[in-house]
A and B are shown apart, each in its own frame.
Chain A
Amino acid sequence: MRSSLRSAVPSMFQRRLILLTALALLIGTTLGIATAGLTTGQSFREARSEAEAKLQATRFTSTVRGRVLDRNGLELAKDEPGWEVAVHFSVITGDWAHEQAIADARADKLAWERMDDAQRDAEVESLHREYDQQVQMLFTTLEQLGRLKPGQMQDRRDNITRWVHAQQTHIWNKRQEQAEAERGEPVPRSEVEEPIAEQNQYHTVLHDLRDELRLQLEDFIVIGRTEGDRAEAWSMRVFEMVELRRLTVRRYPHDTMHVTLDRSTLPEPLKNTEPIRIDVKGVSTHLVGLMRDAWAEDVNDQPFLPESGGFDLSGYRGGDRLGQSGIEYAMEHVLRGTRGVRTTNLNTGEIASEVLPQAGRDVMLSVDIRLQAQVQAVMSPEFGLMVFQPWHGGEEQQDLVGMPFNGGAVVMDIASGDVLAAVTMPAVPRDELAEDPLSFWRDPLNRPMYHRGWQVPYPPGSTVKPLVVTAAITDRVLGENETIDTPGYLWENKPLVYRDWYWKVHTALRGEINGIEALKFSSNPFFGLLAERLIERFGRDRLPAWYRQFGLGVDPRIGLGEAINGKLIPQNHADGCFIAIGQGPVSTTPLQVCTAYARLVHGKMDQPPRLIVHPRLSLDAGPSVKHQPSASGRRVALEGMRLAASERDGTASVLRVLDSNGRRQPIFNVPGVTVMAKSGTADPDVRWIDYNFNEKVDPGEVDTEPRDHAWVVALVQPDGAPRPTHVVAVIVEHAGSGGQIAGPVVNQIIHALQQHRYLEYPPNR
């Protein structure tokens, strides 16, 4: 071959050219084959399909979230279009000015390299001042556009910075814990200190910007984003770090309401012929709930773009809003609705296919928002009942006068179980929450984000006694008229543990008393003896079983996941006796207490409370009815409560304050109704305040002698009605005597019920 080629082509140069030509042909062939490989077969089909898919634009149309309505159809939450302004975190902190200054100074590489350190610092400082002025100008402009008070924008910036730094600390702690758990050795903090996502995000500084102001701001942003060296664009460059977001604003029209309250029926020291006008804020915050941006977990749980392909129009993607708490969270699946999707041919503009969005459905609540607002006004510190008053304690406690109380109230229609009002104090005004979320989320003393109507468990104290007497009579361990010689204390060997308050104060005995009198006097040993009889006859679980039947210690089945069960876990004989006076291993919420008393009145032991009227909830079946209270037991309980509220020696009848006639003033003074009430002064044992939010008990966080919780539960029977129609339960945290403190609050709530015409008989609403 060699010799033949050499003889055919004697010139070496030409032979080399043949070699190069062959090489070129080889490369050309390779490229031709590669082209053929791409343009044929599977590669061609996939590419053509993908390329042509780009000719179609798929746009998703947003849906409208359903409204939340009160029982009268008033809108508590609804979607409306709006705008908000968000600014990059680096601008909020001011770091942006420094970053820009350094970037600008370094832009001219040659000049930067020629400078010494001092010159560089001076150059950066000079540019920094100019950018800092831009930042100040931006926030002044936004403050004016948002019509904020002077300094309010700075407060917002500070709050956002604090919030992000708190998040950062939390995340770093978690990262460090996780790393240490994985490695099994201490991990230096520096290893986990990486910026978190929030530090590179835009944060809302103006909510709900009006449209004409939005246009003005949009002009600034356009100038700020103009490329080139124009001086105007440069001087407004900070506006390129501003985002104007078109969004659907969730509005809460009845979150702030004005209520005028009559003060003529208040306890004497607070009585006034002039009504008081109270602005109540955050009326629906806990109840309706909050919204938040979708987290990665939400997107993973129900992705808008599932891994299997296509899209789930009801799925979530980043930036979606969804319910965080309350009804917004519990009824997310109803309120949310589904997106629409429209596929358009880009080259022709024709709509290829379209699925219209489905609006979320409305949710109607059983709550009467006007009544709710009035109850909240009653419980506001301005009205005076929810602050420490001189008659609330002895002389040694007078330094507490003026201290506001926290608490909760639930008002329920007995026949239907409808929750007409559910108030928690302190309230959480939405605007203040948006302004400074940390002051609400991280307030260990008041824990304002919890609804005290159903999210916080309290020992029920004596409010359980009517339930105990009903159980005892039904189980025939107590006769309807049977009397018991009641000792001053239950256990001989422990005279200080389980005492009658009457014995404690007067060192005197009540003697032979029946169930009605025991309720009127709220005699602890009497109910301790009933508990022992029940234990002796049926075992230790008998009374807890009754409690569960009344709705204590079990799921309230109200449709809110956040409503807690409470505790009911007696371990021994003593526990079994303590729970008969609402102490020991039992805790409950005002909602559960209302439910229990509604069942006590109507005897339907499986009827759950109702907060959501529409759509009807498909709740799990509650515990089966094993214990049906007898009519005689219920009669004794109600009569005992009636006497407790109406007779002067009843525990829920009179205040320690005197009226104008020098007589002790009755707690309940609503005309045209009979009130049956049971007070409860519950010993919380200890009070733990997690000041540093580390979920651990640290020194100094536990108060071993906290003030008692004050309870009153009242049944209200309008004149002419055959039985009570409404139940009101009020808890006032760490306040003291139930009757003295919670009693007047319940009284004013009954006044509110009457004003709102709930106590007319026959019903007129």
Chain B
Amino acid sequence: MPRSEHPILDQLKLLARPHPGWYALAAALLLILIGITAIGTVNDDLASVQGKRWLPIAFIALACAILPNPRWLGHMAYPMLGLAIALLVFVILPFVPRSIVPVRNGSTAWINLGFMYFQPSEMAKVAFILSLAWYLRYRENHRTLKGLLIPFVIMFVPVILILKEPDLGSALLFAPTLFVMLAAAGAKLRHLAALLGIGLAAVALNIAIVLFAPPSMQVLQDHQRVRIEAMYYQVIGDNRMVKDEGYQQDVAMRMVAAGGVTGYGADHSRTIIEYNKLPFDYNDMIYPVIVNRWGMLGGWAVLGLYIVLVGSILLVAARSRDPFARLSCVGFAGIIFTQASINIAMTVGLMPITGITLPLISYGGSSLLFTFVMIGLVINFAARRPQMLARPSFEFDNADAIFQ
């Protein structure tokens, strides 16, 4: 192929082509718009910061993510994961001054950069996905149980470090993302189902221990136990923990429910949320704010936009021929959707409360920045012409099953 005389111009032309990546960006922008408006419902100042500081920074990050060649990105995946792990280690080191790594909400998850608090776990999410995609791109051994070991190791290293911060909410996102990527990469579904079954059984066992075993047999931390208990009591209609451990979820569900079909509207919603004392209403609990203000229709709109966003990213994956790009897109879609689902599920009472934000909507610089990095990479991948001679990837024919 003859070399172009204006490679950057060509690159921009490629980018400007219509492709599903732009749909993802459009959905993301609408979610951000909803987010800033919702944050403004409860805190004008934070809405302003989100719109005027973090959003421009996120756009810069998006622009930076659009430009690099995917192949170069693939080569950089492991070093990026190494850097993320190093930063995760750094934040849990005991001798690091608290002025650099402050304790916020009981967790050492942030590094004070002066102009912003940077969250290494956000970076780790992107690095983990890129690394896993780079690792799996031409492999077949993940179709064996033994071959799943390395992907799980790649997942566990950051997860353990994040749990040490501790930041259970962020750590929870890695396993579903791994499963989604492995599924897309052609791992045998029965292997994944078995592992998933073991995981779910472990979760069920823990819940059973929390609810029915004597104190001497408890394995979870106290704060984790009480959250599970709080949700259990809420589900069975027992209000004994509503005033303490179940308070956050109780108020969140009340704010969701009180929104009705069409919501209160801006002014009244602000008052209702203020006097009902919804905690973390600008970040973790932003979905109740949305439903309270715009009602069930607002909530559905948000869910719809996430489906559009995730669907668009998966469409980019489907159209791409580059296995690294394919799997990265699946990972991005998986992690964004998992995070959104967990956040919404806990505010509507389907999961116990844990600290996790609603991507693109909740207030926060690091989260927005790295979500935009993901969307930038998706646009980047979508804009590339398929390599005509690329090896087919993740195509393992098996006449016995629909999806294999």
A36 touches B296 (CB 8 A): yes
Does A19 count as interface, using CB distance less than 8 angstroms? yes
CA of A50 to CA of B306, assembled, Å: 31
Chain B binder among A40-48, A185-193, A712-720: A40-48
Instruction: Give the shortest distance, in Å, between B175 (CB) and chain A (any CB).
Output: 15
Does A34 count as interface, using CB distance less than 8 angstroms? yes
Instruction: Mark contacts of A10-49 with chain B using CB atoms, 8 A cut-off: 1 yes-contact digit, 0 otherwise.
Output: 0111111101110011011011101110111001101110
A13 touches B291 (CB 8 A): no
CA of A11 to CA of B183, assembled, Å: 14
Q: Which of A21, A31, A44, A54 has the most CB of B within 10 A?
A: A31
Chain B binder among A1-9, A295-303, A578-586: A1-9
Instruction: Mark contacts of A501-525 with chain B using CB atoms, 8 A cut-off: 1 yes-contact digit, 0 otherwise.
Output: 0000000000000000000000000
B276 touches A51 (CB 8 A): yes
CB neighbours (8 Å) of B326 from chain A are 13
A17 touches B260 (CB 8 A): no
- Of the candidates B275, B304, B318, which one forms a contact with A14 in the assembled complex, judged by CB atoms under 8 Å apart? B318
B186 touches A51 (CB 8 A): no
Q: Which of A15, A32, A35, A47 has the most CB of B within 10 A?
A: A35
Does B286 count as interface, using CB distance less than 8 angstroms? no
- Of the candidates B272, B314, B341, B402, which one forms a contact with A17 in the assembled complex, judged by CB atoms under 8 Å apart? B314
Does A702 count as interface, using CB distance less than 8 angstroms? no
B318 touches A17 (CB 8 A): yes
B345 touches A48 (CB 8 A): no
Does B180 count as interface, using CB distance less than 8 angstroms? yes
Given the contacts A25-B307, A28-B303, A39 and B291 also touching, CB distance less than 8 Å: yes
Nearest residue in B to A14 (C-beta to C-beta)?
Answer: B318
CB neighbours (8 Å) of B303 from chain A are 28, 31-32, 35
Instruction: Give the shortest distance, in Å, between B259 (CB) and chain A (any CB).
Output: 6
Instruction: Give the shortest distance, in Å, between B255 (CB) and chain A (any CB).
Output: 7
CB neighbours (8 Å) of B95 from chain A are 110
A51 touches B254 (CB 8 A): yes
B403 touches A21 (CB 8 A): no
CA of A667 to CA of B308, assembled, Å: 110
B275 touches A5 (CB 8 A): no
Q: B368-404: which have CB < 8 Å to A?
A: 393-398, 401-404
Q: B222-262: which have CB < 8 Å to A?
A: 253-261
Given the contacts A5-B402, A19-B403, A47 and B257 also touching, CB distance less than 8 Å: yes
Chain B residues touching A, range:
35 or more
Instruction: Mark contacts of B203-235 with chain A using CB atoms, 8 A cut-off: 1 yes-contact digit, 0 otherwise.
Output: 000000000000000000000000000000000
Does A350 count as interface, using CB distance less than 8 angstroms? no
Does A347 count as interface, using CB distance less than 8 angstroms? yes
B275 touches A27 (CB 8 A): no
CA of A50 to CA of B261, assembled, Å: 17
- Of the candidates B258, B317, B330, B341, which one forms a contact with A31 in the assembled complex, judged by CB atoms under 8 Å apart? B341
B257 touches A39 (CB 8 A): yes
- Of the candidates A20, A28, A110, A347, which one forms a contact with B314 in the assembled complex, judged by CB atoms under 8 Å apart? A20
B258 touches A35 (CB 8 A): no
Nearest residue in A to B401 (C-beta to C-beta)?
Answer: A2
B276 touches A54 (CB 8 A): yes
Does B106 count as interface, using CB distance less than 8 angstroms? no
Nearest residue in A to B255 (C-beta to C-beta)?
Answer: A51
CA of A712 to CA of B200, assembled, Å: 89
CA of A11 to CA of B397, assembled, Å: 9
Given the contacts A19-B403, A31-B303, A12 and B396 also touching, CB distance less than 8 Å: yes
Q: A20-B184, A24-B333 are in contact. List 8 more A-B contacts (CB 8 A).
A: A11-B395, A14-B318, A16-B186, A27-B341, A31-B345, A34-B350, A38-B348, A47-B257
Residue ranges of B at the interface with A (Cβ–Cβ < 8 Å): 94-95, 180, 183-184, 186, 253-261, 271-272, 275-277, 291, 295-296, 299-300, 303-304, 306-307, 310-311, 314, 317-318, 326, 330, 333-334, 337, 341, 344-345, 348-350, 393-398, 401-404
Instruction: Please give me the 9 A-B residue pairs with the lowest Cβ-Cβ distance, nearest first.
Output: A47-B257, A51-B258, A39-B296, A38-B257, A34-B348, A13-B394, A35-B299, A47-B258, A48-B258
Residue ranges of A at the interface with B (Cβ–Cβ < 8 Å): 1-2, 5-6, 11-17, 19-21, 24-25, 27-28, 30-32, 34-36, 38-40, 43-44, 46-48, 50-52, 54-55, 109-110, 346-347
19 pairs, CB–CB < 8 Å, chain A vs chain B: A13-B318, A13-B326, A13-B394, A16-B183, A16-B184, A17-B318, A19-B183, A20-B314, A24-B337, A31-B341, A36-B296, A46-B257, A47-B255, A47-B258, A50-B254, A51-B254, A51-B272, A51-B276, A109-B94
